[in-house]
Amino acid sequence: MTKLSVNINKIAVIRNSRGGNLPDVVAAAQHIERFGADGITVHPRPDGRHIRYDDVRALRKVLVTELNIEGNPIPDFVELVLETKPAQVTLVPDAHDAITSNAGWDTLVHREFLTDVVARFHEKGIRVSVFVNPDVRMIAGAKACGADRVELYTEAYARKYPADPEGAVAPYVAAAEEARRQGLGLNAGHDLSLENLCHYIRCIPWTDEVSIGHALISDALYYGLENTVQLYRREIAEGLRKN
């Protein structure tokens, strides 16, 4: 079963817009777990505009499912991950002022750097996933860096899906097959939604985990948080059933 990890950054955006602690990010994460999510994803950035480092520390103390921390491995981020020891860290090469993640790693150019970072996290028993574009060379490069998994950056899939579902998913199938050949676990994330998730999973049923935030939290405004988590789980299950 492909696991659903819910990215709660957008809940923190609402909280931060007014100050205080409403909505309560930690309580929301606990509710999301109770509603059926398999994990919680957070992506703290240096400017603290949504999830903050202290949120990560608080979440680590109470979550019962997997915690996945995403981010660019700058020194402060590395220290946070080593301190909190999540189940998984996802390395993302986003600039400090990026609105959202917009590219995967060039694992060939940055091989030495990534190899060192992966080794540091492995010393603490942390599973490491590397965020990559659907490019077989980058996936082979992630393997060479010692990564346990890759996370395919699915923005291009989501953008092209409405006009050409099969064409949109084709490069991701090729990339996923390469990950399987390399013995890497496989994650996916960015702009996956109720519209396109089922097709993606049907075509790549060996996906270990999808990380979904913006669309899921937005849908929750209409459908409610508990119902929305179940709707996304249903899309995953339907994709696996159709395979």
SS3 state at 52: coil
The C-alpha atoms of residue 103 and residue 70 are separated, in whole angstroms, by: 14
The C-alpha atoms of residue 4 and residue 221 are separated, in whole angstroms, by: 19
| Token representation of residue 199 | 């097709």
Q: Would you give the end-to-end CA distance of the chain in angstroms? A: 12
| Token representation of residue 20 | 């205080």
Q: Tokens 């059926």 map to which residue?
A: 36
Of these residues, 33, 43, 50, 235, which one is catalytic? 43
43 is catalytic: yes
Q: Which residues of 151-178 are buried (b: 16+ CB within 10 A; e: fewer)?
A: bbbbbbbbebbeeebeebbebbeebbeb
Hey, CA dihedral for 27, 28, 34, 37, is it positive or negative?
A: negative
Of these residues, 33, 66, 70, 235, which one is catalytic? 70
70 is catalytic: yes
Of these residues, 33, 50, 66, 190, which one is catalytic? 190
Hey, CA dihedral for 66, 143, 91, 82, is it positive or negative?
A: positive
Which residues are known to be catalytic?
Answer: 43, 70, 190
